[in-house]
A and B are shown apart, each in its own frame.
Chain A
């Protein structure tokens, strides 16, 4: 594969993937297990996760490349949980090599640094808190990985125009350069973005709100050396007292994002001379290479139900929010992981179909939460009344002197995994277990995610010293002893294991590395009950 570089005159040179005439247009009748619609971040992750678990999956995309044609990178910040998922999917090393690893953020008001944080402090994961990388690179790596997986089929230039739901399958109407055909699949994952035709065709309900706040991104390169940190100005004199973001990403490109006046005209704020002037005021230099300029507003959308019959909605189809906190893309990846293991478990006969209902329960709650969190941020950055403005400025004023007020300064609460505490699948816990570095049973260096790779949707049962080895049905869970022999269980070792469990405890960890149960000196039946609950067997009753 050739590495793309920012092309002269803006944008990037993107790969083109080959269109092939689908089997259905060659006279074959097929009934696919799972169809994924949309080759963006969420769809590719879902396909990659399913195929990696040995589930046959076909992905259709109306385009034949990654990214958004003519546009640039969209998301740039990938948070720890997302990186852990990519580690399990096998593309993490390429992301780490290409992207900018960072953990320090600074929050400023004009020339004052109000506070800084280091997200690496206290981190237990093998992956760093954040890597910044243009979204299309991640998509590209996922495509490359999918092409290695025999269970995956990629269909480029296949545009879905409609859907019909049947008792035992869904029928997608698809258009290709060779004509139209019907794609039949037992299950459909709709990851076709915020204007999904499938969602429209099904008449699925959602709430939507369009704000007046306007921003303008400039992705640029320049010679002036700046630290690889996330800087956010709650207000900046060089941007007429409005907010500014400064983020590094791959290829020496920086994302500079400027808040504009309410309802600002997109054409005016993206005018080349205006953009150059803005950059000069910010960077103090005119030697800036503009890679891409994108004026934008944002909307809030949330579907009422993330599942409709045989269709699951993931990513921007299901939820749209403002970008401050990097919660859109990261939660889309986590949607994908959530539905992938559940579909794999059901298709392998390890779980009842009722497990699939928990996708809506868990991920809609996550979507609603992320919208709540990002809306609070925008209320801080774009006060809606003179009072809100004065109150916000009082907070910024106090934050210059007193630590307590810094906690009130909200320039984005960065993406963290949602806790499934209230989920029907959770016996106790629900939070994401960090991807602890461990010594594997064979003595090699690894991480918890290494124990979760492979076919099916296997749970992890971690036994801490003093418990009896639980006897569990084969194929359902992989059992390990932590830091010392227990019966004949394979042993994993690592100082960090003590941070997640203590002597006498058994942890039941889901295939998405969320904690399903923390049990103290349990009988084997209690471990089995927690596993059954996490597989949706209580929902089925």
Chain B
């Protein structure tokens, strides 16, 4: 999994995410993020990479799965 910078225009990407969620409720932003994640997951299409990203995200939020 890449952890060095890989997004060509980082500030532009951030701006676009914020703009897309402008005026959305928390529930709608939550729905947005789920769809965004699913679209990206298919684009990546690499099972090992996806599992690694899932593991990493979980650890960042609450430690390894099953640890609480």
Contact = CB atoms under 8 A, between A and B. Distances in A.
Interface string B6-34: 00000000000000000000000011001
Interface stretch (A31-39, A197-205, A321-329, A387-395): A387-395
Contacts of A398: 35, 38-39
B42 interface: yes
10 contacts: A390-B31, A391-B34, A394-B31, A394-B34, A395-B38, A397-B35, A398-B39, A404-B42, A405-B38, A405-B42
Contacts of B34: 390-391, 394
Interface in A156-212: none
A170 B34 CA distance: 58
Nearest to A391: B34
Main secondary structure of the interface of B (DSSP, over half): helix
A404 B31 CA distance: 18
Interface size class of A (residues with CB under 8 A): 10 to 19
Contacts of B39: 398
Interface string A390-432: 1100110110001011001000000000000000000000000
A408 B42 CA distance: 11
B35 A394 contact: yes
B42 to A, nearest CB: 4
A397 B35 CA distance: 9
B21 to A, nearest CB: 15
Nearest to A408: B38
A402 B40 CA distance: 13
Interface string A95-115: 000000000000000000000
B37 to A, nearest CB: 8
A214 to B, nearest CB: 27
A405 B34 CA distance: 12
A390 B32 CA distance: 11
B28 to A, nearest CB: 11
A412 B35 CA distance: 23
A383 to B, nearest CB: 13
A334 B34 CA distance: 40
Nearest to B37: A394
A394 B34 CA distance: 7
A402 B35 CA distance: 12
Contacts of B38: 394-395, 398, 405, 408
Contacts of B35: 394, 397-398
B8 to A, nearest CB: 24
Nearest to B43: A404
A430 B1 CA distance: 34
Given A390-B30, A395-B38, A398-B35, 6 more contacts: A390-B34, A391-B34, A394-B31, A397-B35, A405-B38, A408-B38
A410 to B, nearest CB: 14
A398 B34 CA distance: 10
Q: Which of B30, B35, B38, B39 has the most CB of A within 10 A?
A: B38
Contacts of A390: 30-31, 34
A390 B34 CA distance: 8
A395 B38 CA distance: 8
Contacts of A404: 42
A402 B31 CA distance: 17
Nearest to B39: A398
B3 to A, nearest CB: 25
A195 B52 CA distance: 42
A397 B34 CA distance: 11
Nearest to B36: A394
